[in-house]
Amino acid sequence: MTRDPEDGAAPAAPPPVFLERQSYRRRRLNDAARLLPVLAAALFAVPLLWPSGSEGAEPVPMSAAILYVFTVWALLVLVAILFGIAARRWTGREVQDRDPI
């Protein structure tokens, strides 16, 4: 039972928004994929914080820095591939659910 605003009473609150589990997970997956470049930039900036030897600390060898950069690069490629596979799986499930044959 809803009340008229003319009665001076507050109108009834709208029902809560409900998202299907599949669309919620797909949106969270998209959000995580959008944050991947930010994570990549942060990880690639880490070697800039390493000591260069001018402050009296022992510098990080160039081989370790190059190994770090290529390891981060390979992990980011792997994560991007996993995001792609997961996105394709979610899209495939939604198409199957929508088009019964």
pLDDT tens readout for residues 57-94 = 888 899 999 999 999 999 999 999 999 998 888 776 65
- Number of domains composing the chain: 1
Q: CA separation (Å) from 96 to 1, 23, 29, 91, 92?
A: 39, 14, 19, 9, 6
Query: Does residue 52 belong to any structural domain of this protein?
Result: yes
Query: Does residue 23 belong to any structural domain of this protein?
Result: yes
- Beta carbons within 10 angstroms of residue 26's beta carbon: 19
- In degrees, rounded to 5, the angle at the alpha carbon of residue 32 between the alpha carbons of residues 30 and 36 is 115
Query: Does residue 10 belong to any structural domain of this protein?
Result: no
Q: Which domain does 84 fall in, by range?
A: 19-98
Q: How many Å is the maximal CA-CA distance in the chain?
A: 78
Query: Does residue 5 belong to any structural domain of this protein?
Result: no
Residue 49 has pLDDT above 70, yes or no: yes
Query: Does residue 70 belong to any structural domain of this protein?
Result: yes
Query: Does residue 60 belong to any structural domain of this protein?
Result: yes
Average per-residue pLDDT for the chain: 82
Query: Does residue 3 belong to any structural domain of this protein?
Result: no
Query: Does residue 63 belong to any structural domain of this protein?
Result: yes
